[in-house]
Amino acid sequence: MNDIVTYLLEDSIATITMDDGKVNALSLPMFSELNAAFDRARTDEAVVVFTGREGKFSAGFDLGALRAGGPDAASLLRAGFELAERILSFPTPVVIACTGHAIAMGVFLLLSGDYRIGVDGPYKINANEVALGMTMPRAAVEICRQRLSPSHFNRAVILAESYSPEDAIGAGFLDRVVQASELQDVARSTGAQLAKLDMNAHAATKLRARDRALKAVRAAIEADF
């Protein structure tokens, strides 16, 4: 892996960090490296802390690649939702340390984690497709449906409402908000606590609890692409 994704294993916790030096645009190279990192975490049987660069978890897909169209754009979209489905069904707990803005595909990855910790500050949590004139992909709708509270689902998906980190808790995007200086320590301590779970029971229960959602996401991916 090169510098846009790093992998650090310490005490059965694998920290996977995205950092492209800009807004963590989700490109085909980024997805390739993220999948390689999750492969390593699975081999290591590690709890995952998935995080971004300061102020930016991810602003979503690489728009230049999407606007270019063609097979690469289709492959990019599919890679994003397949990674989200992979995280939803990952056999060990996935803690997401959301370092700031999470937009579009960044939000869908956020919604796929098992425990989501955000940072307090002037950050946006936003599925903004409709605001940009895009029909929300079916897979994105299903990812949102399985985690957002019913009272916020329509507002977030159909009306493209933007949430502050604090408001994102009630909506279902986040489980907790902390100060930026505390984020990585809290994420690691959360991961350490989750590492005490029986992993076979965790994996089996996750698949059972998310059975309908995972089937819906997989069917939606096929319908979209």
The H or E element that residue 6 is part of is strand 5-10
- How buried is residue 21: exposed, middle or buried, by Cβ count under 10 Å (0-12/13-18/19+)? exposed
Q: Taking residues 134-157, what's their average pLDDT? A: 97
What's 23's domain CATH number?
3.90.226.10
pLDDT of residue 114: 98
Domain that holds residue 69: 5-224
Instruction: Band the pLDDT of 3: cuts 50, 70, 90.
Output: confident
Amino acid, res. 165? P
Q: Which CA distances in Å does 31 have to 7, 19, 85, 144, 187?
A: 14, 12, 13, 20, 22
Q: Which residues pair with 56 in a beta bridge?
A: 53, 101
Q: How confident is the model at residue 225 (pLDDT cuts 50, 70, 90)?
A: confident
Tens digit of pLDDT for each residue in 167-204? 999 999 999 999 999 999 999 999 999 999 999 999 99
> Which stretches of the chain are DSSP H helices?
28-44, 63-68, 70-88, 105-110, 138-145, 150-157, 165-171, 183-194, 199-209, 211-224
What pLDDT score was predicted for residue 125?
98
Mean pLDDT for the stretch of residues 129-151: 96
Say what percent of the chain tops pLDDT 70: 99
| pLDDT band (50, 70, 90) for residue 70 | confident
Q: Report whether pLDDT(69) > 90.
A: no
pTM over 0.85: yes
**Total structural domains within the chain:** 1
Beta carbons within 8 Å of 27's beta carbon, 6+ residues apart: 61, 62, 65, 76
pLDDT of residue 19: 97
Q: Is the pLDDT of residue 1 over 60?
A: no
Task: For residues 112-117, give the mean pLDDT.
Answer: 98
Nearest residue to 123 (alpha-carbon basis) of 98, 100, 156, 105: 100
